[in-house]
Structure 1
């Protein structure tokens, strides 16, 4: 009998407060994950969303709607970065394990914040550019005394939970390909499951499972077909590729095809099914990817596979003919509920496209789907007989710019959502951010390795684009949404001034916890949405909070480091450095350092470039830079409209020579020529001059 099992027996009747007895570092097993609410485990947070069903609900209720006003900061750690920190920590047997940028993992005493060890996998700074959306990681996994890291550069690493020493490391993809890993690995009954990103850069999506003890590969499942001339892959997905292949046309394999599983998984141990959420196409534009024909399976789908063998079981495709960068990698949640008078085992998802889906998780059959946003220019409804969307007129992209809402900016993106079995509600960070779409002219799309290969056109019809962008700016909004999945209706919402608020956590204390774009941590009543507590933290957390218990005291922890998608109307957005923050009742004596004073907004230099050069720079910026620096050069990791004179002087060296590689801005000399960089610089100067007057007024 394991030490953890002995602890569970000893705790019966003695540990109703949820305190776990120490049984060795990170001793997570199939028993502990099947019994997460048992007294010996209920105080832990053993997996990304606590449980394999990904509900992100905790039965702890020491902190509740009657006493949350007594919450205080117990301890924090400065993560010493201004980049987005997206991870949910783990807490097992009193130790908190956290992962920051570049996959650096630190173990802390969960009560005091004392550092126990740090493991740095030495991911190269160039991966800040090679990974689609920066060097963040969304989480880590634990199993049988080991912590598992999906590194940006493709390594799956196991380290000893007690010492932080590396146990084994396996390369999950060939480093010549444009893959990266930003999602959290999961361990399902001794199998480490990991996906990857890179669809924007031109790769073929796949998921791999490894033996948690040895690192031996167990199975591999491709999410889209490869070159038919190569024949079967000899992998678990071969039978599924027979289903997918007829839905593709042209020579898609030259561009990868996409479908990367870059974030979401779930697991039903009784059905022995792993659920995979798949991503967008590569390139985005269906016209170039598949000659504008076919559904292109399994893009933007949920695919269920056998956990033991990886064999295909069923799929449901949310977005046939995908060409809007609508990923279906958003969180998937399993629950049991009564619908239309019948008990149902369901899987739920609210992907980018603005519809909330409820499926039978054993068969994949669609139960219901309704839009959860006020405007949907993609589809009017989901046909319950066929399971297919009924597209709005003009939804497919042509060379004429048009607004799409939802857009690639997402009605709901990767930010964790939570389901409370007590209220029966799903909670998520929703937003409405239209974006301009137009495909490139025939002959104008050129595939470039390790560059965003959307197939979009960026520079045509500038007057129409300016008008559409004004419309998009005016429609932008964000809110915390409580959604009833049985009735497919809104229960309540909390509006925010801008999109960009983070993931959520629900607890049995009738609490709903979220980091907000207002640079606060806020706590609401889970049943009504009434605000109970809020603290200014000088950061807008995008990660989901967790909660845990040690020695009879409940804690709430969250990584606070904003690094979300661009926000049109946010303007200059000064934050403190990212921090891991930990709270408990009646904590006193710990305070955050003051926010440094804002710097003056630099005036852009005079624009001297021709309109043709600015137009060229606009297109190059859209192809190369907007994922980090925002649509129309607004927002992002660093707003480049208002660079200092020194930065302008060094611009070419920063982009081509990697002058700021240590800050994550590696050289682009492999994809951009000096004339390309001059054109991008001209475009940024133009954008700065266009927006300076209004932006400087807001800054004051």
Structure 2
């Protein structure tokens, strides 16, 4: 459909004339971001401010009247998949993203679409990356909107029209599955972006591009390259000494910086969070030796030239996928009678870290959920003290790991309220088993992860699965980073709840996995308001003001790795993707929620023998579960294959071979034989029979 750019321009101009700042759309620069508190009605960068505190000084909506919030407007997004974006709001215009990296510019008062940009990600590329086709939002700067697209492009758009100003390819090697899911950041006229793909065998890096032209300014690698080649810089010389052998070259090394960054303008230090190794198996990756810098580390670099300043590694020699890509917050705290400039992070590994952001000195580290891989962090060395309980590389078989590879805290942003002094942390308890592969199994396919580890399958027994699910809990923690303990908590039945927003109105807002928007008193944790939003709300909400009215926006849409992979452990809600915005006194209504299929089609004949089905189950969980759920039990986002019709069964081999590649289904014909495909289909039939028997059982 042809875009009407003239109409879009008129609409944007009209909005600008009715707001405080009648200026070019998205006319944001470093000075405005540094002085963001002088414009509390805007949300101009990913964490609102460079320190990523996600605290709003707005207080018209407060603990005394938040129960009067009602639906102001909603805007339906194009694709019902995971929504993880933080919306940007500047001078009455909202810029946000949905699945497949589609960008939307909306009237922040009404939700009216001003323009839309679809980067047209190649459908076949959508199955070649981790954790759904999500996007965590855009950045804005001097009249442009910057998008990191799933296929690895960095794209600058005209903020008035949505037209492409420039685009660059950030991918180092197109033979490997590099992706982008994180939001860009802009510092001193440079657009900063990292990449994803560690499980698929890539080498991590962060790149800076000139915001005006797209010209590359510098690139900071997070792990070393081939040791036969000269190290790129001082940082890689330091890192190379902590790796052994050269197996990681084939496996990629990992260390992708796929999400968090923060910036201190005073110190002129950029902080990046670095991810897990490739493969996870430390023995394959580095002969079981060395810290493997800069995996699972916070790294401070000079944003002018990309030079290394300092690092702190949260999980040396990481073998559990305990990334340090989780949200980082900068704050000034009084610690032991001294004002300290700190950086705070609660990564996957379950410790809450407070670090001097000028020097990298560890100030404190305490557990915020139960864990079993380490007893504590040694403050003399800054290193975790490991236990044998979670060492699955000791040759003694599978080990139960707490937290799981999905972490005690994942990408969902936390927030810091300087009035209460608390960090509002979306935490979770999770558990999994890991077992080392006996021999390296490397499958060179863009849609197959290579981690060197067996993740034992979930049991098929529904009762046991329910018991396991009960061990996966969500929790909102008001964490005191000075005392290093919880001030209050709120418990959830499900993991994978949303990021948080705190405000001067003594409020904490959070979305939930079971489809609610909730507000709590920031000081006590008392629940003050909730509203249904019909789908899982994972992204962190934002608040802004237009024409004297305060709004609160939730980006809603269930998806991501938890519901796609874990299926039966996930809270099963439909992926109804939309922007949902509230204000005081509004009375709008959401459309009714979509219903998930409840009745099975006629069952297909099951012809495979029990021993064949065991093999088929292993194949399904190896090739299909990352999208359709372990044991063919979907989490409600992508099709639940147990409900396949006879027509789809008839097309099964063709679909697996690539007949629906234009709908995002990868082609596996290069690694699966026709008899393998039929065996997998037989397993799906078996699981349909299992479900049918379960549905026929009388209710307890």
- Alignment TM-score > 0.5, same fold: yes
1:526-565 Cα offsets, whole Å, 9 max, x none, are 1111111111121111111011111111111111101141
1:21-54 Cα offsets, whole Å, 9 max, x none, are 222210101110110011xx22111111111111
Cα distance in 1 between the residues matched to 2:326 and 2:459: 35
Residue 266 of structure 1 contacts residue 275 of structure 1 at CA under 8 Å; is this kept in 2?
yes
Q: Which residue number in structure 1 is paired with residue 377 of structure 2?
A: 382
Q: Which residue number in structure 1 is paired with residue 139 of structure 2?
A: 141
Cα distance in 2 between the residues matched to 1:263 and 1:556: 23
Query: Which stretch shows the higher mean deviation, 431-440 or 393-402?
Result: 393-402
Cα distance in 1 between the residues matched to 2:567 and 2:345: 26
Mapping of residues 488-507 of structure 1, within 5 Å: 488-507=484-503
Residue 411 of structure 1 contacts residue 433 of structure 1 at CA under 8 Å; is this kept in 2?
yes
1:300 matched to 2:296? The reply is yes
Mapping of residues 57-206 of structure 1, within 5 Å: 57-173=55-171, 174-206=173-205
Mapping of residues 384-533 of structure 1, within 5 Å: 384-398=379-393, 400-444=397-441, 446=443, 448-457=445-454, 472-533=468-529
The 3 A distance-change label for structure 1 pair 435 and 639 is: farther
1:273-301 Cα offsets, whole Å, 9 max, x none, are 11110111111111211121111111111
Q: Which residue number in structure 2 is paired with residue 4 of structure 1?
A: none
1:618 matched to 2:617? The reply is yes
Displacement after TM superposition at 1:415 (Å):
0.6
Cα distance in 1 between the residues matched to 2:251 and 2:698: 43
Displacement after TM superposition at 1:492 (Å):
1.0
Query: Which stretch shows the higher mean deviation, 448-457 or 666-675?
Result: 666-675
Displacement after TM superposition at 1:466 (Å):
11
Cα distance in 2 between the residues matched to 1:328 and 1:571: 24
Cα distance in 1 between the residues matched to 2:632 and 2:510: 28
Mapping of residues 332-351 of structure 1, within 5 Å: 332-351=328-347
1:42 matched to 2:40? The reply is yes
Cα distance in 2 between the residues matched to 1:607 and 1:371: 49
1:394-419 Cα offsets, whole Å, 9 max, x none, are 32214612211101121110011111
1:242 to 237, 240, 248: 237
The 3 A distance-change label for structure 1 pair 577 and 369 is: same
Displacement after TM superposition at 1:428 (Å):
1.7
Instruction: Please state whether the residue corresponding to 2:123 is helix, strand or coil.
Output: coil
1:95-114 Cα offsets, whole Å, 9 max, x none, are 11111111111111111222
Cα distance in 2 between the residues matched to 1:466 and 1:63: 44
Cα distance in 2 between the residues matched to 1:113 and 1:697: 46
The 3 A distance-change label for structure 1 pair 334 and 634 is: farther
Q: Which residue number in structure 1 is paired with residue 572 of structure 2?
A: 573
Residue 72 of structure 1 contacts residue 584 of structure 1 at CA under 8 Å; is this kept in 2?
yes
The 3 A distance-change label for structure 1 pair 464 and 572 is: closer
The 3 A distance-change label for structure 1 pair 197 and 157 is: same
Cα distance in 1 between the residues matched to 2:595 and 2:119: 34
Gaps of 5+ in 1: 1-17
1:470-528 Cα offsets, whole Å, 9 max, x none, are 76434221111111111110111111111121111111111111111221111111111
Q: Which residue number in structure 2 is paired with residue 644 of structure 1?
A: 644
Q: Which residue number in structure 2 is paired with residue 661 of structure 1?
A: 662
The 3 A distance-change label for structure 1 pair 644 and 633 is: closer
Displacement after TM superposition at 1:698 (Å):
10
Residue 506 of structure 1 contacts residue 512 of structure 1 at CA under 8 Å; is this kept in 2?
yes
The 3 A distance-change label for structure 1 pair 355 and 554 is: same
Residue 137 of structure 1 contacts residue 183 of structure 1 at CA under 8 Å; is this kept in 2?
yes
Residue 465 of structure 2 contacts residue 569 of structure 2 at CA under 8 Å; is this kept in 1?
no
The 3 A distance-change label for structure 1 pair 696 and 91 is: farther
Query: Which stretch shows the higher mean deviation, 411-420 or 101-110?
Result: 101-110
The 3 A distance-change label for structure 1 pair 476 and 459 is: closer
Cα distance in 2 between the residues matched to 1:499 and 1:698: 29
Residue 403 of structure 1 contacts residue 468 of structure 1 at CA under 8 Å; is this kept in 2?
no
Q: Which residue number in structure 2 is paired with residue 6 of structure 1?
A: none
Cα distance in 1 between the residues matched to 2:686 and 2:244: 41
Cα distance in 2 between the residues matched to 1:680 and 1:315: 46
Residue 570 of structure 1 contacts residue 635 of structure 1 at CA under 8 Å; is this kept in 2?
no
Cα distance in 1 between the residues matched to 2:373 and 2:142: 46
Instruction: Please state whether the residue corresponding to 2:22 is helix, strand or coil.
Output: coil
Residue 459 of structure 1 contacts residue 616 of structure 1 at CA under 8 Å; is this kept in 2?
no
Instruction: Please state whether the residue corresponding to 2:241 is helix, strand or coil.
Output: helix
The 3 A distance-change label for structure 1 pair 470 and 547 is: closer
Mapping of residues 280-299 of structure 1, within 5 Å: 280-299=276-295
Q: Which residue number in structure 2 is paired with residue 208 of structure 1?
A: 207
Cα distance in 1 between the residues matched to 2:571 and 2:347: 29
Residue 20 of structure 1 contacts residue 44 of structure 1 at CA under 8 Å; is this kept in 2?
no
1:555-604 Cα offsets, whole Å, 9 max, x none, are 1111110114135655672426211111111113x211112444324276
Q: Which residue number in structure 1 is paired with residue 3 of structure 2?
A: none
Residue 19 of structure 1 contacts residue 42 of structure 1 at CA under 8 Å; is this kept in 2?
no
The 3 A distance-change label for structure 1 pair 464 and 138 is: closer
The 3 A distance-change label for structure 1 pair 659 and 226 is: same
Displacement after TM superposition at 1:187 (Å):
0.4
Q: Which residue number in structure 2 is paired with residue 229 of structure 1?
A: 228
The 3 A distance-change label for structure 1 pair 685 and 457 is: farther
The 3 A distance-change label for structure 1 pair 254 and 698 is: farther
Displacement after TM superposition at 1:115 (Å):
1.5
Cα distance in 1 between the residues matched to 2:697 and 2:426: 30
Instruction: Please state whether the residue corresponding to 2:656 is helix, strand or coil.
Output: helix
Q: How many residues align?
A: 673
Gaps of 5+ in 2: 1-17
Q: Which residue number in structure 1 is paired with residue 581 of structure 2?
A: 582
Residue 81 of structure 1 contacts residue 578 of structure 1 at CA under 8 Å; is this kept in 2?
yes
Q: Which residue number in structure 2 is paired with residue 13 of structure 1?
A: none
Which stretches of structure 1, 4 residues or more, deviate above 6 A after TM superposition? Answer: 462-471, 695-700
1:33 matched to 2:33? The reply is yes
Q: Which residue number in structure 2 is paired with residue 10 of structure 1?
A: none
Residue 558 of structure 2 contacts residue 576 of structure 2 at CA under 8 Å; is this kept in 1?
no
Residue 574 of structure 1 contacts residue 598 of structure 1 at CA under 8 Å; is this kept in 2?
yes
Displacement after TM superposition at 1:132 (Å):
1.1
The 3 A distance-change label for structure 1 pair 37 and 387 is: same
Cα distance in 2 between the residues matched to 1:638 and 1:102: 14
Cα distance in 1 between the residues matched to 2:532 and 2:696: 24
Q: Give the TM-score normalised by structure 2.
A: 0.91
Displacement after TM superposition at 1:697 (Å):
6.4
Cα distance in 2 between the residues matched to 1:372 and 1:341: 24
